[in-house]
Amino acid sequence: MHKTNLKIAGAFVVGFIAATGAWQSLNYANASNQETYRYLNLFGDVFDRVRADYVEEPDSEKLIDTAINGMLSGLDPHSSYMNPKRFKDMQVQTRGEFGGLGIEVTMEKEVVKVVAPIDETPAQKAGILSNDLITRIDGKEIRGLTLNEAVDKMRGKVGEPITLTIVRKGKDAPFDVTIKRAIIKIRAVRFNVERDDIGYIRISSFNDQTQDNLEKAVEKIKTQLGDKLKGYIIDLRNNPGGLLNQAISVSDSFLNKGVIVSTRGRNGSETDRSTATNGDLSDGKKIVVLINGGSASASEIVAGALQDHKRATILGTRSFGKGSVQTIIPLGSEGAIRLTTARYYTPSNTSIQAKGIKPDIKIEQELPEELKAQASRTTSEASLRGHLTGEGEGEESTGSSSYVPADKEKDLQLKAAIDLLDGKTVEQTPKKAEAPTTAQSGTSAN
């Protein structure tokens, strides 16, 4: 998740140094600075040596870009450097429209892994699935590229075709999929009426349009159903997150009071709380929220807030577990850095980092035969290399299924949500052993 309303995470502390130990503190600070300068000089020496002696003349801008990215990605999977082009792409993306294929991706074992295809995009229409591995782009190996480099190659002129080589568990051999690039217009909110008494609202991402679109959806459902309206299903499955302020607004839409989320930086004094204002958009109607292993970040904030305030029943499978906040810090004309600056906590003061939101009612989807050979578990935050450790030793989640059938008649989670709003008893899926997962690092949309 990232914030475009920038907040400096940290402060200059002005105070005094007690007489006892003052010189020792100053000497320690000086020694620390000297050590830092020594490493910076080392970096400069290596940079000069590479420019002077590498077998081919290197691109200095690319060297610096790679060095900065290495420093930030070494902190955690969600911190990174964006050069001016990528920063501009990110700003366009948060407005809900960008050029590309329409897939959320990450890196795994030097190839690109699909986290989830975005609704109604060329990638989804071409049959790209969660957990697909992309090994080649237009016939060229991905190995050796960074995630950002791979994403840049998948983006291009609108209308131009691109061929992706896919490895999918359950398939005997890699296969090619050709997709035409398009302007990806993310409809953050879609809605429809289930039967003639339930409003279904699908929130696929948290961009600048999410809150406005949600309000329009609720208003249209109210107008269409009137007094017959029993309640709402809010579908956050495979929602990878987005803007923090939009997650707070969406949560506030269904709450009258209380804390929505709190964030804490490195120091205890850096605690921010967001609280709900009076006014429930749904007029107190029953709400069921659907989540799964692809629900991350901002979507977990909404699920956690509504769960802790007992405003909604959370149904599905355990969420991804990304409980950290990234701040976008512009660097003038040199792009920006995305830096993890805080952990966030649900109203009950619970961190979901590397654990996820546990549903009130666990319902697993049934996999079709052609996907049963494929791992049914998505990778969770806990399995990302270098992730921030979650609070509570041994409680980290191994992730859960992110499969959602295209046919609503086969969607067990949606059916269970409808039954719940009808007042029926819903039986949970029996507990079974977690499937193993593999490590990833970082995610990106294109």
Catalytic residues: 297, 308, 322
Beta strands in 57-110 (DSSP E): 80-82, 97-100, 103-108
Provide the token pair at 341: 């600056």
Nearest to 76 by CA among 358, 354, 271: 354
For 266-289, letters b (16+ CB in 10 Å) and e give eeeeeeeebebeeeebbeebbbbb
Q: Coil, strand or helix: which one is 46?
A: helix
The distance between the two most distant Cα atoms of the chain, rounded to a whole number of Å, is: 77
DSSP output for 301-353: HHHHHHHHTTSSEEEES------EEEEEEE-GGG-EEEEEEEEEE-TTS-B-T
DSSP 77: T
Provide the token pair at 260: 């929505």
Nearest to 244 by CA among 181, 307, 323, 318: 323
Nearest to 307 by CA among 249, 368, 352: 352
Contact status, residue 333 vs residue 84, Cβ threshold 8 Å? yes
Neighbours of 57 (CB within 10 A): 8
Contact status, residue 82 vs residue 335, Cβ threshold 8 Å? yes
Phi, psi angles (nearest 5°) of residue 266: -65, -40
Contact status, residue 129 vs residue 164, Cβ threshold 8 Å? no
